[in-house]
Chain A
């Protein structure tokens, strides 16, 4: 079908050099972001060492470019008769071979750099067996599509050869890749996020992320401004502040409100950027998820690979009648927030359909038998919060102690305790004959659903206090991470473990 000979080892698209350089540079800056904090501790760094710093930075950038160029040159891939081959590494050479039948998903994506340079990122996902997943950063779009088609074709050939074992997982996943190929004809859009809902999503998402970003920025800015003012006008603002506490407090209140409002706007803005034009496309057994304005993301939810199905709501989301779903698929390590597949702004009906096609069960007809976390859990949270507060108080005491900061401490402590109380109330685990449900959260609610047969191992953990007062933490391991339910009654936890293990062993289904 294609005229391209894939068996010759080839390099990425030429623009890849710049892409690799930019992404590496961004990575380096991120790794060393804490260096920006240096002006916090030392005054006049730039005046004293300015030239050296700039020369040093320039040298580092050049070095990085050379390194990026070499890594571009060393990054070679090809398709041989039985597998996808990849050579990479500048100092430590590595050779990766992925047999076609191990390929689970092929994702194409474009972030902002890749859009500018007109290349696409090419990602091969494999089953979670500790094997590195392959990420080719820069390919020409046509070439990437050809390569994808070729890999799928090879995989199908193998699947065809294994026709004898028709019930095998392998075939079903191969045929689902086949589905991907034919998706143009068969796909149906399950859900498309309109702009008003997207705004609602932005409004109802956790605004503290935006606030955190903003605060970090302000802390940095504050220091620079202080430095500047103190140097130029030779006045001691710190002293001034202390003498004018009442004014300062009104100022701080305004500042806090300002920060909250701007943080709120930033949150909405980033959410809109991230989830712009979210689409869920159903293709027989799988779902394809697409979203993003600057960074386009295209991911596939596979039924067999899905391990944890997490529904998140909060009071605001309830008000808007939307909820988000975060799907964790099998991976070789703990699935991070970033790796989860996020579907936001879903209505109840969307959720029902999605759930039904993933699990063949009606979500709202599920009846769970519940085991709740016991109230003693609050004591654990109390001590944890106490440590935080003692730490904060110590900091406050050394830097800036007065009645205002004392009140602030009490308020923070009260808030933390209240959140802990909500957390304890909300924490529970439920089960029925097929599913486990785990509920967590404080103001928000995280409702995780795991199929029982996806459990890898189960553990009871009891610290020395729990051994005395008859409680246990139940730890569930899945192929996409660990989930702990704290402070169950020990008998309940034991019964649960017995039941779940019995189910895992008796259900004749595989975890992937």
Chain B
């Protein structure tokens, strides 16, 4: 399983854009909203409660609510527009993940460089029976690949795929 180590022209290179990417589970969006809502409800309660204290100048509360609303709007756009962009792709030698509306990022991690693989499930995601797959490299944590919102079988399949690749590498070494 080796490429021939020849210089090839750019047009002959496998293009990562040409891969069919798969979306993550739709119910993951509900989970994001639940998370988001709980945070914003808390923040809104704080700012509104300012009105009940006479000594507290009310313009601060108004300003806080205004700023919060802007943030909320931005987050809402990010979630609604960004969710369909959250996709992952599996290639022969690497895995691709893309996400983000305001900041669209596409990450490619070769299986060779993966140090270890983890399947995680938080308390909320247990409710939705969703899992997140984490691929750790030796690079900075910003370079790790984290795919949230997978169902169990996909997560395990992906993990097996990655482990298979990495162990195969080890054997041939």
Instruction: Please report the C-alpha to C-alpha distance between residue A494 and residue B153 in the assembled complex, in whole angstroms.
Output: 32
Question: What is the distance, in angstroms, from A330's C-beta to the closest C-beta of chain B?
Answer: 7
Question: B3 contacts which chain A residues (CB < 8 A)?
Answer: 502, 505-506
Do B94 and A501 have beta carbons less than 8 Å apart?
yes
Task: Identify B16's interface contact among A481, A482, A498, CB under 8 A.
Answer: A498
Do B107 and A459 have beta carbons less than 8 Å apart?
yes
Do A505 and B112 have beta carbons less than 8 Å apart?
yes
Question: A511 contacts which chain B residues (CB < 8 A)?
Answer: 113, 138
A407 part of interface (Cβ distance < 8 Å): no
Do A457 and B145 have beta carbons less than 8 Å apart?
yes
Q: Which residue of A lies closest to B106 (CB)?
A: A460
Q: Which residue of A lies closest to B109 (CB)?
A: A457
A478 part of interface (Cβ distance < 8 Å): yes
Instruction: Please report the C-alpha to C-alpha distance between residue A463 and residue B105 in the assembled complex, in whole angstroms.
Output: 8
B84 part of interface (Cβ distance < 8 Å): no
Give the A interface residue count (CB, 8 A): 38
A362 part of interface (Cβ distance < 8 Å): no
Do B102 and A464 have beta carbons less than 8 Å apart?
yes
Do B94 and A463 have beta carbons less than 8 Å apart?
no
Instruction: Please report the C-alpha to C-alpha distance between residue A29 and residue B143 in the assembled complex, in whole angstroms.
Output: 35
Instruction: Please report the C-alpha to C-alpha distance between residue A333 and residue B10 in the assembled complex, in whole angstroms.
Output: 33
Task: Identify B13's interface contact among A330, A460, A478, A499, CB under 8 A.
Answer: A499
Do A501 and B107 have beta carbons less than 8 Å apart?
no
Q: Which residue of B lies closest to A334 (CB)?
A: B140
A480-512, CB under 8 A of B: which get 1 and which 0? 011000000000001101110110111110111
Q: Which residue of B lies closest to A463 (CB)?
A: B103
Do A505 and B137 have beta carbons less than 8 Å apart?
no
Known: A457-B110, A482-B140, A504-B113; 17 extra A-B contacts, CB below 8 A, are: A333-B140, A334-B140, A433-B7, A457-B113, A459-B107, A460-B106, A462-B103, A463-B102, A463-B103, A463-B104, A477-B140, A482-B143, A494-B16, A495-B10, A502-B8, A506-B3, A506-B4
Leading 9 A-B pairs by shortest Cβ distance: A477-B143, A506-B3, A456-B139, A477-B139, A456-B137, A505-B93, A457-B109, A479-B138, A457-B143
Would you list 16 pairs from A and B whose C-beta atoms are within 8 A, ordered by A residue? A455-B113, A456-B109, A457-B109, A457-B145, A458-B108, A462-B103, A464-B102, A477-B137, A479-B139, A498-B14, A499-B10, A501-B94, A501-B108, A502-B14, A504-B113, A508-B2
